[in-house]
Chain A
Amino acid sequence: MNLFHNNKLFHGYQKRQFRWLSICIVLSLLVIILMSASMLIGNTYYSPSTIFRVLCGEQISGATFAILTLRLPRTLAGFFCGAAFGLAGYIFQSLLRNPLASPDIIGVSSATSTAAVFCTLILGFTGNTVSIISVLSGILVAILIYLLSYSKGSFSQGKMILIGIGIQAITRALTNYMLTKAAEFDVQSTMRWLNGSLNSIKLGDITVLAVIVFGIGALLLFFSSSLEIIRLGEEKALTLGINLKLFYSLSIVCAVILVAFSTAISGPIASVAFLSGPIATRLCGHNRCGLLPSALVGAVLVLSSDLIGQNLFPVRYPVGVITGILGAPYLIYLLIKMNQKGRRT
């Protein structure tokens, strides 16, 4: 522990740890506040005591239905989907060391949603079958994009992003095609779902998602030190004894599972995966692992956008519309910043 005898270094380390911890606490508090708000506010306002009594199992006419079948699933789905998208985005961005390489930009998300639309609209499947098929197609597309970005034995991230956008065009075309074949009464709900919406989610759907988010989250946190090392660069990770191939494939599979399961429930909520990681890194600085903060930021984004979409406008907008509008200016900001750094593009 020679390092810690150096007072300055130790001081800096302590400061960063403190910053990370305080940011996490603030974000968690924010999540709790937003979740409570989303339970309290709606068509009618219910007092905290009513909600507490309903959650404890008491039957109150009107309130029980509104809270248990409408608001509780919505709130929980907001939390878990947000966290899942945040985690997945952070993993992709860390592994590929590029803020643009989030699953919703490189086409993985749209592949999973196309598969989900196919399963629900054409095959008439429901529930977990949809999720599993989406996961498989998401993984396949991720592999395809990766393989296509190899040319003449060298891998280029720029090419990968462009190819991902190309793949996205195909999957979008497929989705649009299926929409034209669908019955008219299915279209409105599917369009809502395709925009990312927390409507009409059942409590039963969330259990699986919760298990997956917690399970994979725990697994990832266990491997978080390796993830942080990979952020430093492949050469360093290799010399520090990380099995890169194994680790890459494992984490990508985890990320795709997260994306696919949450997409199957809420639809592709635009830009959350893309925004969460960079916001979390910006808040915490580069120190401890950004997984937990990214998950929390994802949850905050989804929950707050849903509150805005549901309550601020005369018309109720699905959450993805709000996050989509948030995401675009950030992408533009990123482009401008990238240019100023003068990196080769």
Chain B
Amino acid sequence: MNYSDLLSKKVRYIGIAIASIVVLFIICCLSLALGARKLPLATVWNALFAPQHVSALEASIVQSRIPRTIFGVLAGGALGVSGALMQVVTRNPIADPSILGVNTGASLFVVIGLAWFQISSAQQYIWLAILGAGITSILVYGIAMIGRGGATPLKLVLSGAAASTALGSLLSTILLPSDSHILDQFRFWQVGSIGGATWDSIRLISPFFLVGLFIAIVIAPQLNILTLGDEMATSLGVNTQRTRLLAAAAAVLLCGATTALAGPIGFVGLMVPHLVKMLFGAELKIALPFSAISGACLLLFSDIIGRLIGFPGETEVGIITAFLGVPVFIAVIRKSKVNAV
């Protein structure tokens, strides 16, 4: 590659980068404007920067949508990066916390905390969910690794399904005898929604988001080499075990924290890496930060659709992402070379 090629590539990246940030900004504005009561964008602008020009009602509507929007950006970013990391670590195009049963594991631990230990602080939820997600990931990956061929897509998904069934049954054994109050809490949490986000949720998720993203970006060069294969990576001086472990830990931190606060939101982590790969190629140093941006766009976009479809109430974002994500999932499978079991 000569210099002018590199330069044009760089220009292209910068172009797409600016474009994606602009898109994110527009989606954020839309997220502030749309909902049960629709406001014109000018009003949103005024509410933010010139509060004297808007009515108190309009100002308070916009104010109440701010935490939801910021939380959506963080949660979407976390899910996007976590999906990208999972797909690299498992070398698998369909890795996603909902398909692999990791969300069920996180749910199980949160419910155990709710029902048996009467935990109530969100901080405790988060750690329980992260613990559950971590244990389940190890379990699912471990089962899929057994035998020849390592963790192929089909084996991973099937062991995810098995883990999901088992953990789901365990979850029922805890949930059903408990009082209807917990059941009621659970059914709303289980769908996956960012509607209840507050400034507190933002405060809670931010450190996890930052740490996860930081780890991801720091190990991006090693992860890049890892995609060439373990042998190649080892001979190039990469500690494959440590890199993998760090990446997996970051992925679990990111998706566990999000799941604890917003409930299991599936398929964002599945869709984002494919989207990013289409736009930016497979270079992870660039792809990982943009996974965060596109994850944020995707989640907020789904949330807005949910608000519009469910009018005058709203449809939870987890439903919308499932409906957007499953066609992508099916398309990826149809394209891939999965042989008979």
Q: Whose C-beta in chain A lies nearest to the C-beta of B315? A: A177
Segment with Cβ contacts to B, from A15-23, A62-70, A288-296, A322-330: A322-330
Query: Cα distance A335–B166 when bound, in Å?
Result: 15
By a CB distance below 8 angstroms, the chain B residues around A195 are 169, 172, 176
Cα separation A148 to B335 with both chains bound (whole Å) = 11
Pick from A172, A180, A195 the residue with the most CB of B within 10 Å: A180
For the complex, give the distance between the alpha carbons of A329 and B163 in Å: 9
Contacting pair B158 A335 (CB below 8 A): yes
Question: Does A252 interact with chain B (Cβ within 8 Å)?
Answer: no
B333, A159: Cβ atoms closer than 8 Å: yes
Task: Tell me the complex Cα distance, A336–B159, Å.
Answer: 10
A155-180 contact mask (Cβ, 8 Å, vs B): 1 or 0: 01111011101110110111011011
Q: What distance in Å separates the Cβ of A326 from its nearest Cβ neighbour in chain B?
A: 9
Q: How far is the CB of B29 from chain A (nearest CB, A)?
A: 27
- The B interface is mostly helix, strand or loop, or mixed, namely helix
Measured CA separation A27–B47 after assembly (Å) = 73
Quick one: given A163-B330, A173-B318, A324-B166, are A345 and B341 in contact (CB under 8 Å)? yes
Task: Say whether A331 contacts B162, CB under 8 Å.
Answer: yes
- Select which of A157, A165, A317, A325 is within 8 A of B340 by beta carbon: A157
Return chain A residues, CB-CB under 8 Å to B187.
176, 179-180, 187, 191
List of B residues within 8 angstroms of A191 by Cβ: 172, 175-176, 183, 187
With both chains docked as a complex, state the minimum distance between the C-beta of A76 and any C-beta of chain B, in angstroms: 24
Chain A residues within an 8 Å CB radius of B114: none
Among A148, A156, A270, A339, the residue within 8 A (CB) of B339 is A156
Rounded to whole angstroms, the CA-CA distance of A332 and B160 in the bound complex is: 10
**In the complex, per-residue mask of B47-81: 1 if CB is within 8 Å of any chain A CB, else 0:** 00000000000000000000000000000000000
CA distance A327 to B161 in the complex (A): 11
Q: Is B113 an interface residue (CB 8 A)?
A: no
User: B333: nearest residue on chain A (CB-CB)?
Assistant: A162
Bound complex: CA A159 to CA B163 (Å): 20
The CA-CA distance from A322 to B170 in the complex, in Å, is 9
A325 partner residues in chain B, CB cutoff 8 A: 166, 169-170, 173
Among residues 176 to 226 in chain A, which have CB atoms less than 8 Å away from a CB atom of chain B?
Answer: 176-177, 179-180, 184, 187-188, 191-192, 195
Distance of A171 from chain B, by nearest CB (Å): 9
Contact, CB under 8 Å: A158 / B180:
no
- Which B residues are in CB contact (< 8 Å) with A174? 319
Contacts of A324 in B (CB 8 A): 165-166, 168-169, 172
A325-B169, A327-B165 known; A170 and B180 CB under 8 Å?
no
Q: How far is the CB of B231 from chain A (nearest CB, A)?
A: 22
**Nearest chain B CB to A41 CB, angstrom units:** 20
- Contact residues in B for A105 (Cβ distance below 8 Å): 161
Rounded to whole Å, the gap between the CB of A138 and the closest CB of chain B is 18
Query: When chains A and B are docked, how far (Å) is the Cα of A170 from the Cα of B147?
Result: 31
Query: Closest approach, in angstroms, between the C-beta of A277 and any C-beta of chain B?
Result: 15
Query: For the complex, what is the distance from the CA of A331 to the CA of B157, rounded to whole Å?
Result: 12
Verify if B98 is at the interface (C-beta below 8 Å from A): yes
Q: Measured between alpha carbons, how far is A142 from B145 in the docked complex, in Å?
A: 30
A157 partner residues in chain B, CB cutoff 8 A: 340-341
Within 8 A of A (CB), among B160-208: 161-163, 165-166, 168-170, 172-173, 175-177, 180, 183-184, 187-188, 190-191
Q: A165-B99, A170-B323 are in contact. Are A339 and B172 (CB under 8 A)?
A: no
Selecting from B148-156, B211-219, B288-296, the interface stretch reads: B148-156
Is B94 in contact with A335, judged by CB distance below 8 angstroms?
A: no
Interface core residue of A151, A169, A332 (most chain B CB under 10 Å): A169
Q: A325-B166, A327-B165 are in contact. Are A162 and B94 (CB under 8 A)?
A: yes
A107 to B2, CA, bound (A): 52
| Beta-carbon contact of A328 and B323 below 8 Å | no
**B161 and A331: CB pair below 8 A?**
yes
Say yes or no for A344: interface residue by CB 8 A criterion: yes
Alpha-carbon separation in the docked complex, A343 to B333 (Å): 20
A84 interfacial contact with B, CB 8 Å: no
Are A345 and B155 neighbours in the complex by a CB distance under 8 Å?
yes
Contact between A176 and B329, CB atoms less than 8 A apart: no
User: A345–B153 Cα gap in the complex (Å)?
Assistant: 8
Contact A162/B147 with A169-B266, A184-B184 known, Cβ cut-off 8 Å: no
List residues of chain B with CB under 8 Å of any chain A CB.
94, 98-99, 143-144, 146-149, 152-155, 157-159, 161-163, 165-166, 168-170, 172-173, 175-177, 180, 183-184, 187-188, 190-191, 266-267, 315-316, 318-319, 322-323, 325-326, 329-330, 333-335, 338-341
Query: Would you give 16 A-B contacts (Cβ < 8 Å), ordered by A?
Result: A156-B338, A161-B154, A167-B326, A169-B266, A177-B191, A187-B180, A188-B180, A317-B177, A320-B169, A320-B172, A324-B172, A325-B169, A327-B166, A332-B159, A344-B149, A345-B149
